[in-house]
Amino acid sequence: MSAAHSSANSALLGNAECISVSRALSELQARRPIRISASGESLLALPIDGLDEQRLGDFADLCSPNAPKLVVTQQRARSIGTKASTAMALSLSPVVGVSTIFDLAASAENEGHFVGTVEAASRAATAAIRLAKLSRSLPAVLAANVMPNRDDDLMDLIVTVEADAVNRFAADATNAFAHVSEATIPLASGTEARFVVFRDPLGADQVAIIVGKPDFTQPVPVRLHSACLTGDVFGSQRCDCGDQLRLALARLESLGSGVILYMAQEGRGIGLANKMRAYRLQDSGLDTRDANTTLGFEDDERDYGVAALMLRTLNCTRIVLLTNNPAKLDGLTKAGIEITARVALQAPVTPHNRRYLTTKAVRSGHKIINLKASVCKKF
Ligand SMILES: Nc1nc2c(ncn2[C@@H]2O[C@H](COP(=O)(O)OP(=O)(O)OP(=O)(O)O)[C@@H](O)[C@H]2O)c(=O)[nH]1
Ligand SMILES: [Zn+2]
């Protein structure tokens, strides 16, 4: 065998760590359990998304004689009344059913009511939560230590990943970022735009839409836009996303050129299914930030490193950013993009989106000047 073929880091396969994390992620997406190892620890973990009584019973059998615990993020642990500063593992009664597990993991009614034993999640359990997030599941898993020397056919089928490999995966993610394809598309306005598609290591398509012919030696107008299926495509009135996207495109057209980065960051990075869960919680009274944290997420899970990489790949490193969101300015600046100016994108305030926009302005510092001055901080 040639040296090139025996390499653990071949061009075909990537490095062994990345392979194991990618495989673990696909197992979680298929709702299968995985095994996570960390020094001296070997843990079986099952995401609670897709759990039913049959799967709960089978997982309990697989873990036996150890009883699975419910591992939740720090945010979720706090919302059910524990004083958590890390992810936590909650002991479950042996007779607990699926609906109680979902209530503990994601319901608003459950807040402040957990009375069982709680302990800080182990390294392997914390890595399991991180993987659940990356697979766009609820960030909650059932987990139990594997008995030493356990050896059976079922266990042989379970993919194993190292906790440290999971932790390094996000940091190394840019290595596997690829330019995939591009084409020119005539838009409704008559403008021709070049859609350049990149693929990230999780398989998501990230798109740079180049309007006109920007001069990349000068600051280029850029809209960094996170996907919002409900708003961008269907004109949902719950948010301002669709209006902002159209305003941004019109602005670039009037300026003659620019770039829209259309990022696969649905629901501020929690994914479409979890955004719907967040909307249900908002229907029961929570605001957009508290709904995210009640589900166990950060109020905003987005990272702008991939956006910065897309800009660098396009040779676009000095920009004028179209946004009201200070976190985007910070994120891109920290990732090495020079922002020479900000352009506001003020979408109409309606009875449907007023509460959402007010929360963004008051709690997240968005510069939304067409809300009443009383609720809007000055830029
Ligand atoms: N989790 C969650 N996500 C939401 C909600 N409403 C809208 N979103 C998502 O929020 C994101 C908004 O993205 P952007 O419009 O790019 O950014 P922004 O943070 O509003 O900042 P701007 O640049 O000023 O528009 C999209 O991914 C939407 O899917 C909500 O109530 N909950
Ligand atoms: Zn939206």
Can you read off the two tokens belonging to residue 351?
């009875």
Whether the CB-CB separation of 98 and 56 falls below 8 Å is answered with yes
Interface ipTM: 0.99
Banded pLDDT at 372 (limits 50, 70, 90): low
Residue 184 has pLDDT above 60, yes or no: yes
Helix 123-134 with 163-172: angle, nearest 10 deg: 40
Decide: 265 in ligand 1 pocket, CB within 6 A.
Answer: yes
Residue 378 has pLDDT above 70, yes or no: no
- Output the CA–CA distances (angstroms, integers) from residue 244 to 30, 304, 365, 366, in the order listed: 35, 19, 17, 13
pLDDT at residue 110, as a whole number: 60
Beta bridge partners of 342: 321
Whether the CB-CB separation of 323 and 342 falls below 8 Å is answered with yes
Instruction: Give the residue from 224, 221, 226 showing the smallest Cα distance to 269.
Output: 226
Residue 48 has pLDDT above 80, yes or no: yes
54 is in an annotated binding site: no
Decide: 328 in ligand 1 pocket, CB within 6 A.
Answer: yes
Residues marked active site are found at: 300, 302
**Residue whose structure tokens are 């150890």:** 66
Banded pLDDT at 112 (limits 50, 70, 90): low
> For ligand 1, what atom is nearest to the CA of residue 288?
31
SS3 category, 43: strand
Pairwise CA distance, residues 88 & 92, whole Å:
13
Banded pLDDT at 174 (limits 50, 70, 90): low
Whether the CB-CB separation of 35 and 159 falls below 8 Å is answered with yes
239 is in an annotated binding site: yes
- pLDDT tens track for 302-333: 999 999 999 999 999 999 999 999 999 999 99
Whether the CB-CB separation of 86 and 304 falls below 8 Å is answered with no
Q: What is the mean pLDDT of the chain?
A: 91
Instruction: Give the residue from 148, 231, 229, 248 showing the smallest Cα distance to 189.
Output: 248
376 is in an annotated binding site: no
Sign of CA dihedral 277, 280, 282, 286: negative
Q: What is the mean pLDDT of residues 62-81?
A: 95
Decide: 359 in ligand 1 pocket, CB within 6 A.
Answer: no
SS3 category, 257: coil
- pLDDT tens track for 211-224: 999 999 999 999 99
Residue 32 has pLDDT above 90, yes or no: yes
Residue 272 has pLDDT above 70, yes or no: yes
Domains by residue range for the chain, with CATH: 3-171 (3.90.870.10), 177-265+302-375 (3.40.50.10990)
